[in-house]
């Protein structure tokens, strides 16, 4: 094999390896994270009334085009003074990079979305502020009855939620991977492969005579 063929082979091999790495890393890094890891990593920090803790937590993970939505459904057996099942959904949306993309809360059957939620690292802060379990993305410390709240956690169950809600109708995401991401991955791969090939050519031609 002559030097030109060797250089071309090295370039094609390095380009292939670089493309596989760049596209897999840039496009779908969340694909290798299990549902349980996502649930634990983004589990909300919750505050509730001491006298009214939730009885159950149901969790489901949805994935779409590299993004993830972790649905946390908190359950009580009453809604205010009315005895009936009350599920309060907290949806945490995660970017392919692992950053929190958005938080969706349902207040009186209306969805509210925050794109920069208050959080402790990857754990959004949720306070259920009354007997109707209205969720807010904040600490309870400034409330007039702050002393009545406690930080509360409970075991979760991974299963189908009580309601069939499409999370991607609440928070829409752009097509991912975007053309911009793919072009960037290809350009970086071409540049790195060119550097590797040049180094190989110099070593092969001038240092290994």
> Residues 144-174: pLDDT tens digits?
999 999 999 999 999 999 999 999 999 988 6
State phi, psi for 30 to the nearest 5 degrees.
-75, -15
Predicted TM-score (pTM) of this structure? 0.73
- Low-confidence stretches of the chain (pLDDT < 70) are 1-3, 7-8, 10, 15, 18-32, 174-185, 200-201, 204-209
pLDDT at 5: 74
Question: How many residues comprise the chain?
Answer: 209
**Angle, CA of 98, 99 and 101, to the nearest 5°:** 120
State phi, psi for 181 to the nearest 5 degrees.
-65, -45
pLDDT at 108: 85
Residues 6 or more apart whose Cβ sits within 8 Å of residue 123: 42, 43, 44, 45
Element (H, E) at 122: none
3-state secondary structure (DSSP) of residue 54: coil
Q: What is the biggest distance separating any 2 CA atoms in the chain, rounded to whole angstroms?
A: 89
């Amino acid at each position: 094999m002559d030097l030109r063929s060797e250089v071309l082979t090295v370039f094609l091999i390095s380009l292939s390896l670089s493309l596989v790495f760049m596209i897999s890393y840039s496009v779908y890094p969340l694909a290798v994270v299990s549902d349980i890891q996502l649930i634990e990593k983004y589990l909300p920090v919750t505050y509730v009334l001491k006298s009214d803790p939730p009885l159950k937590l149901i969790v489901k993970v949805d994935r779409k085009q590299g993004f993830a939505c972790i649905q946390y459904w908190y359950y009580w057996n009453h809604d205010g003074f009315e005895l009936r099942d009350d599920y309060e959904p907290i949806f945490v949306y995660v970017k392919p990079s692992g950053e929190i993309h958005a938080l969706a809360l349902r207040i009186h059957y209306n969805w509210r979305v925050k794109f920069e939620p208050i959080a402790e690292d990857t754990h959004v802060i949720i306070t259920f502020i009354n007997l109707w379990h209205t969720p807010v993305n904040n600490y309870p410390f400034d409330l007039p009855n702050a002393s009545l709240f406690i930080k509360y956690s409970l075991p979760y169950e991974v299963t189908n939620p009580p309601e069939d809600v499409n999370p991607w109708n609440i928070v829409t995401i752009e097509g991912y991977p975007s053309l911009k991401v793919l072009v960037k991955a290809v350009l970086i791969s071409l540049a790195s492969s060119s550097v590797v090939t040049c180094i190989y050519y110099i070593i092969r031609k001038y240092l290994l005579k």
